[in-house]
A and B are shown apart, each in its own frame.
Chain A
Amino acid sequence: MINISRLKVDFISGTQSKKIIEGIDVHVDEGESVVVIGPNGCGKTTFLHTIAGLNDNYSGTIEIEEDRSRVALILQEIGLLPWKTVWKNATLGLDLQDVGDKSRAEELLERLDLMKYKTDYPSQLSGGERRKLGLVRALSVDPKILLMDEPLVSLDEFTRERLQNTILELWKEKGLTMMLVTHDIEEASFLGERIVVLTPSPASVKEVVGNETMGDVGFRRSEDFYGTAQKLRESLP
């Protein structure tokens, strides 16, 4: 469970202070998937990093009903370490937490078809494979909460949809509590049980769009999917 109330973030540079997040209230139940959508530069990354504990300069409250080690974040730029092999990147979280048993990383690599690159380096992977490796790295520590910052940005349509399917499957299978930020309307409509629409900078909640009938791959072809997408289009600036 994640509970965020009256979240405000200001960035101070020199004597100037700039409002980035003006006040966001969001609640994510255990096992729920919430997508936060907003235009570029509205403060989505700042919002997610603040929740993940990478930014202490905020006011308001962030409650997370989980041990920190069970919260995983996938960065917008992924942040794979170029000097580590695919395997070492996949097991980074486990290494950091001193977990000897790497079988979960192995399973995930196998499942996402990355095992064949085990000894390669990230620079040898395609964009889609890097994204998948980011997903493996995040999930290898068996998180309860998964935070994702535009996880499928700059991928071709085909790869993006396939990976959206993968994320959906993993979410259902592992009962993850998921929060994903994106500027992509279809991604939001496909992956969010609820979709929080943010205003342009400084960010605040403009509208919350319900999308309860999502949940399987065929949803993309349904009336509800188009209905949600249409609502988001009207709500976004």
Chain B
Amino acid sequence: MRHGITRYVVSLLFLTLLWWLAAFIVRQVIPGPKSMVLSGPIKAFSTLFYHWGSIWPNFLRSAIRLVISLLISVFFGATTGLIIGFEKTADRLLSPIIYIAYPVPKIVFLPVILILFGLGDLSRVIFIVLVITFQVALSARDAAKNVSNRWVKAVESAGGNRLQVYRHVVIPAALPEILTSVRISIGLGIAALYLAEESFTNQGLAYYINNSWKIFAYSDVFAGILAFAILGLGLYLIVDLVERIFCKWNYID
């Protein structure tokens, strides 16, 4: 961890400063109570701190929904992606399906999912999985396509079977790209989570933010946004850690 902590602290201070500046300008330009819409950082952080008791259950609920969705997406996305990228027949059969399905805006399916699978967490997880899986599958597919033949031959000539080729070559070779797609998935997943938590639920960070809007508790809105940022940051750090453990070879110069 080359001065890892310092980097985060400096970035945080920088963003906070920008935010403070924006709030300050808004207060000068827009007169009256309207300017309250953009809370300053100090207010937001202190609200996050003092209202943590009521934010925490929402944070936890969102985190669980997101993490479960991410795990399912990465498992299925990476598995199918690797097979499509590595097996020519699977590529011919399934790549067109991915190309057709990937660009369709998944939000149109949210009501359908809610009707079919009910108003509970199952529907929310299905929706998020639908949003992020294709992207993981595409990354894994492209990574598997670029697996060098010499590595495959090395394992095959040493008596390795197909499963062993996946285990010793395809999966480790594609892992860095898969982890990159997981990072992208965290951003996408949070956006999808927000949409999925806007209605028919009484818990979750998006619910908390929406509810705060309704009661004009602007600083709580921003405390909720901060909580989202913390959730995302935590997940990014976990992915970094996984990468540092399993892709050590990729960090050598």
By a CB distance below 8 angstroms, the chain B residues around A137 are 158
What is the chain B residue whose CB lies nearest that of A70? B159
* CB of B244 within 8 Å of the partner chain: no
CB-based contact B160/A54 at 8 Å: no
* CB of A124 within 8 Å of the partner chain: yes
* CB of B252 within 8 Å of the partner chain: yes
Identify which of B86-94, B111-119, B129-137, B148-156 touches chain A: B148-156
Main secondary structure of the interface of B (DSSP, over half): helix
CB-based contact B153/A75 at 8 Å: yes
CB-based contact B157/A54 at 8 Å: yes
CB-based contact A79/B153 at 8 Å: yes
Interface centre among B156, B169, B173, B249 (most CB of A within 10 A): B249
When chains A and B are docked, how far (Å) is the Cα of A73 from the Cα of B121?
A: 54
A-B interface pairs (CB < 8 A), number: 62
* CB of A92 within 8 Å of the partner chain: yes
CB-based contact B168/A96 at 8 Å: yes
By a CB distance below 8 angstroms, the chain A residues around B247 are 83
The A-contacting residues of B in range 68-111, CB under 8 angstroms, are none
Q: Knowing A68-B159, A92-B158 touch, does A81 contact B169 (C-beta < 8 A)?
A: yes
* CB of B164 within 8 Å of the partner chain: yes
* CB of B232 within 8 Å of the partner chain: no
When chains A and B are docked, how far (Å) is the Cα of A80 from the Cα of B158?
A: 12
* CB of A93 within 8 Å of the partner chain: yes
CB-based contact B252/A124 at 8 Å: yes
Selected contact of B168 from candidates A75, A78, A81, CB within 8 Å: A81
The A-contacting residues of B in range 146-180, CB under 8 angstroms, are 150-151, 153-160, 164, 168-169, 172-173, 175
Q: Knowing A81-B169, A121-B249, A124-B252 touch, does A96 contact B157 (C-beta < 8 A)?
A: no
When chains A and B are docked, how far (Å) is the Cα of A186 from the Cα of B47?
A: 80
CB-based contact B157/A75 at 8 Å: yes
CB-based contact A73/B157 at 8 Å: yes
By a CB distance below 8 angstroms, the chain A residues around B168 are 81, 84, 92, 95-96
* CB of A72 within 8 Å of the partner chain: yes
CB-based contact B150/A121 at 8 Å: no
Q: How far is the CB of A66 from chain B (nearest CB, A)?
A: 12
Q: Mark B241-253, 1 if CB is under 8 A from A, else 0.
A: 0000001111010
Give me 11 A-to-B residue pairs in the complex whose CB atoms sit less than 8 angstroms apart, sorted by A's number: A54-B153, A72-B157, A77-B150, A78-B154, A84-B172, A93-B158, A95-B168, A96-B158, A121-B252, A123-B249, A137-B158
With A81-B172, A121-B252 given, name 18 new contacts (CB 8 A). A72-B158, A75-B153, A78-B154, A79-B150, A80-B154, A81-B151, A81-B169, A83-B175, A83-B247, A84-B249, A92-B154, A92-B168, A93-B158, A95-B168, A96-B160, A123-B249, A123-B252, A137-B158
